Amino acid sequence: MMFGMLFALAAAQSAGGVVVEDTPQIGIATRHARCIVRQVGIAPAAAAARAAKVAEATKGCREFTEGDFTQGRVMLGDRPVNARWWGRMRGTLDAIEADIATAIVQPKQYKIIWELPDGSRVDAYNAPEPLKSVKLLTVPL
């Protein structure tokens, strides 16, 4: 039983992507991920240059996203989110950044797509219905 759970966990981690299960976090997470891949553009061929480009894009996009929170522009309904909620969001942002850094391995341009709960994949924001959960995937164009 324990072996089966470990195997399932390993398979999920090797598949790539980040699951976002909180509806308000889906938009923030998607915008952050898209910001990073847009800033990277076409990834450099050299591994060191590619890593530096991803790190630079990640830093700039994270500063922008954190600035939105600091300035009170991240809202739940009509109220700014509290620090505790944002702390959970930071964990999601960290996971997205790590996943993108791992996914960008070729000198190509990348984009963010959603894997829906039923396993189908669509362009971000192109889901047929309101969602409570998506998996963000970084894929080459």
- How far is 32 from 54, CA to CA, in rounded Å? 13
Residue of higher predicted confidence among 7 and 48:
48
Amino acid identity for residue 118 in this structure: D
In this prediction, residue 138 carries a pLDDT of 96
In this structure, the number of other CB atoms found within 10 A of the CB of residue 21 comes to 13
pLDDT bucket at 7, cuts 50 / 70 / 90: very low
- Angle at CA 133, nearest 5°, toward 129 and 135? 110
In this prediction, residue 6 carries a pLDDT of 34
- How far is 32 from 79, CA to CA, in rounded Å? 21
Chain segment 61-75, per-residue pLDDT in tens = 999 999 999 999 999
